[in-house]
Amino acid sequence: MPKARKMLSDWKAPYMQSLMKLIETQSKETLSYWAIEYAQQVILPLWCKYYPHDQRPQNALKAAREWLSGEIKLPQAKPVILECHAAAREAEGNPVAQASARAIGQSASTIHSARHCIGLAFYGAVAVAYEQLGKDAPWIQIEQCAAQECGRMEAALRDVAVKDEHNPAKINWKC
């Protein structure tokens, strides 16, 4: 049985390119709100299904929200977000939970760098696909399901996108 892939990896896939183009039109704040909200509503329940008592992903989202509202500074949020990444490493063997924690950690990390919001798609879409299809489903099916989830993510970003944003994030995708 092949090992489950941890994330999507095709930067050039049409669904990924479409999402990236929209991301490039928005400010870091808009991208942060979008990624955090989507992770909270769609991805966090996947984590909680498998690790209901581990609050590290919830804490990361909370810290990111507190940073956005000005309640805390980045040095206070960063260690809380890094704990979410630790939760992902510890969930090895559970591809749904691991991808969920990674997606949440990347979403929360958007407060630091707008580029991190793409982690919501690369990890979160895989988490959803593994949850719906199972970790043993053929990769082509996982990727098709993940592509549909990326479409829902893009629609959610379109719903909150600022038309003619005057301060779009400057993103170097390094891909």
The position carrying tokens 């990769």 is: 139
| pLDDT recorded at residue 175 | 56
* DSSP state string for 90-131: HTTT-HHHHHHHHHHHHHHHTTT-GGGGHHIIIIIHHHHHHH
User: Residue 3 falls within a domain, yes or no?
Assistant: no
Residues in the chain: 175
User: Residue 173 falls within a domain, yes or no?
Assistant: no
| pLDDT recorded at residue 174 | 76
* DSSP state string for 24-81: TTS-HHHHHHHHHHHIIIIIHHHHHHH-TT--HHHHHHHHHHHHHTTSS-HHHHHHHH
The phi and psi torsions of 70 (rounded to 5 degrees) equal 85, 10
User: Residue 168 falls within a domain, yes or no?
Assistant: no
Total number of domains constituting the chain: 1
**38: containing domain:** 24-159
User: Residue 18 falls within a domain, yes or no?
Assistant: no
User: Residue 174 falls within a domain, yes or no?
Assistant: no
- What is the chain's pLDDT, residue by residue, as a tens digit (175 residues)? 456 777 677 888 999 999 999 999 999 999 999 999 999 999 999 999 999 999 999 999 999 999 999 999 999 999 999 999 999 999 999 999 999 999 999 999 999 999 999 999 999 999 999 999 999 999 999 999 999 999 999 999 999 999 999 999 999 887 5
- Please state whether 164 falls in left (phi above 0), alpha (psi between -120 and 50) or beta: left
User: Residue 109 falls within a domain, yes or no?
Assistant: yes
| pLDDT recorded at residue 20 | 95
User: Residue 169 falls within a domain, yes or no?
Assistant: no
| pLDDT recorded at residue 1 | 43
User: Residue 166 falls within a domain, yes or no?
Assistant: no
